[in-house]
Amino acid sequence: MTDPHGGALVDLLVGGSRHRHLAAAARNLPVWELTRRQRCDLELLAAGGFSPLRTFHDQADYESVCASMRLVSGQLWPIPVTLDLPESVVRSAGSTGGVTLRARGADVAVLWLDSAWRPDRRAEALAVFGTTDSAHPGVDALLHGSHPWYVSGRLEVLQLPYHYTFRPLRHTPAEVRCILAERGWERVVAFQTRNPMHRAHQELTVRALRDLDAHLLLHPVVGITKPGDVDPSVRVRCYEALLPTYSPGSVLLSLLPLAMRMAGPREALWHAIVRKNYGATHFIVGRDHAGPGVDGRGRPFYQPYDAQDLVRRHERELGIAVVPFRQLVYVEELQRYVPEDEVHPRQHLLRISGTEQRRRLASGEKLPAWFTPPEVAAELRRAFPARPAQGVGVALGAAPMQGAVRPPT
């Protein structure tokens, strides 16, 4: 597939007679129902979001990525994209030559099995995440929520996984690039987010658009994020509510079905590659990009600006410009946000932690406008009504938290 915004994208979707033959073959192969993380990976593989990848990593590429952040070909690629399966499915696929991949009961692809191996997942965790501490959600998912075998082979895709919500906001990389070309946008700044946008986030994007004379690709992750994050459906409504606050025609909101690993610097590099595939020319990397917080001893897994440093070192090779920002803080005397390294020692900073925000939402207290745009606060209030207004309900079963990582079933 050649796209109108420059470059080429991988397209693994089959059509015509091959589609009919593949659909028939899929009915005679062993079946694997993809986990949530695997559905996200398959969708981005199939649509070109993970270009130049054409399938899940084989052992050689997997080991090369872990060791050097590069494919065997030498191309930059920092995060393993693997398909983990239980031994029984691997054996069945080995005897038939392939496995049918399903998403929510629908056949979406066939993987023609070429290789299978048992990885050293602790070594993978140390290489990719820099730790084996299960307090890291990516490590926990890898060590305790994945199957023992990795497989690879030729991947043929019947259809992309289906989404029931926000369909007008879901675009393939080629579709985004077409929109950018139709609008005549030459400079496009991509913004990664997994949270409702607070005032500091908004200020980052406004500054980037102004400084670069560019347009904004607001590209929130709606696949897997950090356990405990706000549900994607709530976040998307917050993003939609915020769009009218930007200059008309300056923003494209498009949802990214990515399964984050929370791998800090490596993940920031990965995000930049993905956003280049979607047609962005610039990518905002903020403080502690894709960081998961603190380890079991209360120490941060990654230093605040390690991600910026790593992406900037590879900026020329990436082919997408990095827009680094220091953390913005609200100065009471100035009544505005400024970079943290520009704050005078005697100035007063106003802060609200995530814990404090949740407490205010639960108690019905107002979220201050300097912290949360009123449009976002209104959506959060609808999603999280104060406790006295919530009524009484009966819990019939424990549902998994949105974004939580759990063992595949």
As given in the structure block, the two tokens for residue 310 are 């790593």
Q: Are 97 and 113 within 8 A, CB to CB?
A: yes
Element (H, E) at 149: strand 149-157
Q: How many CA atoms lie within 13 Å of 253's alpha carbon, on the beta-carbon side?
A: 19
Question: Distance of CA 60 to CAs 1, 63, 95, 97, 119, Å?
Answer: 26, 5, 23, 20, 11
Could you give the CA distance from residue 261 to residue 264 in angstroms, rounded to a whole number?
A: 8
Tokens 């290789």, residue?
Answer: 115
Question: Distance of CA 153 to CAs 17, 28, 32, Å?
Answer: 22, 18, 15
Write the DSSP assignment of 386-398 as a string of letters: -GGGS------SP
- DSSP-derived letter for residue 160 is P
Could you give the CA distance from residue 162 to residue 204 in angstroms, rounded to a whole number?
A: 33
User: Which residues are annotated as catalytic?
Assistant: 193-195
Could you give the CA distance from residue 13 to residue 134 in angstroms, rounded to a whole number?
A: 37
Could you give the CA distance from residue 197 to residue 260 in angstroms, rounded to a whole number?
A: 18
